[in-house]
Structure 1
Amino acid sequence: MNRRFIDQVAIVTGAAAGIGFEIARQLAREGAFVILNDVDAEQAVNAAARISSEYRGHCLPLPGDAGSLPVIQALVDHAIDHFGRVDMVVANAGLTLFADFFEFSPADFQRIMNLNLQGAFFLTQAAARQMKRQATGGRILLMSSNIGQRAYPYLTAYSMTKAAISTMARSLVLELSPHGININAIAPGATLTERTELEDPAYAEVWSERIPIGKVGMPADMAAPALFLLSGDARHITGQTVVVDGGWSGVSNNPEVVIHSQLKK
């Protein structure tokens, strides 16, 4: 087993389930101390306990809205209070809202911007300030989406936030690199999680037909490149967005086209 993160300290938001949980779990598996955040307090506590029990490590819950400025500062403070430092941040928490552009409300617009953009921006700022004080560098990983690079029906506001996340990773290279801080993003495609399966029991079957490699993504498929970008192996990579979607964004002009079946013809 790789132990790339022994005694390093990570903050992972939106991590009670799905991709965030798998990233937190694998960081702990490889030796990291993890501050696990989720808006659902009970799920955050249970997820942290599960990880700590599984790997006999330290995974501490800190529930709260990851778009809230006090919660963001509390996450950094919690890491300092318990472990004395912050080495890695994964700004995973995000909100997806499907809605007709013509009917999209100002309230929903603010909700998605507050979590997806404000949360990522100010968590990055708070963590980078601490990393700068430590003078030991650090790694920041943002969560974009392949939908930030392609048109998809009823997801304009969400798509805007995910495109902005990629721009943020690229832009911050200038300000963070002098302090030894690398910042990157991953852009997951269709991924089978507790949420997506609950929303559509046929999710895996439907998306397996649309993805060129013929199978839907799993949280572990997203965690693998995430951990690589957080590791020392990626020390010369910064400002990049890595798309992890089984080839969907490379060939799809119409998101409703069943690509896999077409390629078989």
Structure 2
Amino acid sequence: MSMRFKHKTALVTGAAQGIGFEICQRLAAEGATVLLNDIDAALAQQAAAAISAQGLQCTAHPGDSGDVQFVRQLVQTAVQEHDGIDIVIANAGITLFGDFFTYTPEAFNRVMQVNLGGSFFLAQAAANEMKRLGKGGSVLFTSSVTGHQAHKNLAAYGMSKAALEMLARNLVIELSPFGINVNTIAPGATLTERTMQEADYASVWSRLTPMGRPAHTADIAQAALFLVSDDARHITGQSLVVDGGWTCISPSPYQEV
């Protein structure tokens, strides 16, 4: 097993299940000390315990990543307990489906608060510490293929994900002088605890995906780890789409109905 992240501290939000958990698991397995955040306290504790039980370094930090004061304190906790922060992955996000004509301000504001505000201010807090410590670092945002291609009932969500990719591009100007790279990863259809609750999810997306199947969480996590590793130090401001080719042809799942 490679130990690419030995002596590094990584913070991952929205990580008790699915892609976030897989990222934490793999970071810890490759030597990182991982702070695992999730809004669900019980799931966060359970996830961190599962990783720690393997003899790996992972602690649970439950809380709302859309709360600016919370994410600032989360970064301070990493710095105070581990003498620094090297990797931040703003993975937390919420999907609130809804027809554009009736979408509520409450739903819109919550999507923006978590997907955009939480990611922005987490990156800000972490980058300030990376700048102060003078060792550089990596920031990664979790975008989505819905930030590249239209998807029914996801106007607000797709808008937030596209904005994250522009944020990463803009932060190249701000962060590069301090040795901090910033990128986004854009997963396509992925088999997770949540998506597997949808009827026929795997079969529908197997038909729609050129590679013949939706992603596994490992497919996304492996790409994420590359972007926050030293192997990607000269890659910044980019978005890596991991979707089995779906955005190249973009068939809609609604055509399957």
For the criterion TM > 0.5, the same-fold answer is yes
Question: Residue 210 of structure 1 contacts residue 257 of structure 1 at CA under 8 Å; is this kept in 2?
Answer: no
Partner of residue 263, structure 1: none
SS in structure 2 opposite 1:20? helix
Question: Counterpart amino acid of 2:9?
Answer: V
Question: Counterpart amino acid of 1:243?
Answer: V
* Residue correspondences, number: 256
The answer to whether residue 144 in structure 2 is matched with residue 110 in structure 1 is no
Question: Residue 94 of structure 2 contacts residue 111 of structure 2 at CA under 8 Å; is this kept in 1?
Answer: yes
Question: Residue 205 of structure 2 contacts residue 253 of structure 2 at CA under 8 Å; is this kept in 1?
Answer: no
* Structure 1 Cα separation of the partners of residues 149 and 190 of structure 2: 17
Partner of residue 145, structure 1: 144
Question: Counterpart amino acid of 1:152?
Answer: H
Question: Counterpart amino acid of 2:91?
Answer: N
The answer to whether residue 187 in structure 2 is matched with residue 188 in structure 1 is yes
Q: How much does 1:257 deviate?
A: 4.3
Using structure 2 for the length normalisation, give the TM-score: 0.98
Q: How much does 1:239 deviate?
A: 0.2
1:56-82 Cα distance to aligned partner (Å, 9 max, x none): 122111100001012101211111121
Q: How much does 1:53 deviate?
A: 1.0
1:207-250 Cα distance to aligned partner (Å, 9 max, x none): 10100010111110000110000101001100000000000001
Partner of residue 93, structure 1: 92
Partner of residue 169, structure 2: 170
Question: Residue 204 of structure 1 contacts residue 215 of structure 1 at CA under 8 Å; is this kept in 2?
Answer: yes
Partner of residue 205, structure 2: 207
* Structure 1 Cα separation of the partners of residues 168 and 18 of structure 2: 23
Question: Counterpart amino acid of 1:233?
Answer: D
What is the correspondence of 1:237-252 to structure 2 with a 5 Å cutoff? Answer: 237-252=235-250
Using structure 1 for the length normalisation, give the TM-score: 0.95
* Structure 2 Cα separation of the partners of residues 86 and 185 of structure 1: 19
Residue 254 and residue 194 in structure 1: after superposition, are their counterparts in 2 closer, same or farther (change >3 A)?
closer
The answer to whether residue 49 in structure 2 is matched with residue 45 in structure 1 is no
SS in structure 2 opposite 1:60? strand
Partner of residue 220, structure 1: 218
Question: Counterpart amino acid of 1:228?
Answer: F
1:144-183 Cα distance to aligned partner (Å, 9 max, x none): 0011010110000000000000000111000100000000
What is the correspondence of 1:153-168 to structure 2 with a 5 Å cutoff? Answer: 153-168=152-167
Q: How much does 1:201 deviate?
A: 3.8
* Structure 1 Cα separation of the partners of residues 223 and 20 of structure 2: 13
* Structure 1 Cα separation of the partners of residues 62 and 188 of structure 2: 26
1:32-66 Cα distance to aligned partner (Å, 9 max, x none): 00010000000001101111112x12211110000
The answer to whether residue 33 in structure 2 is matched with residue 33 in structure 1 is yes
Q: Which moved more, 1:117-126 or 1:65-74?
A: 65-74
Structure 2 regions of 5+ residues with no counterpart?
none
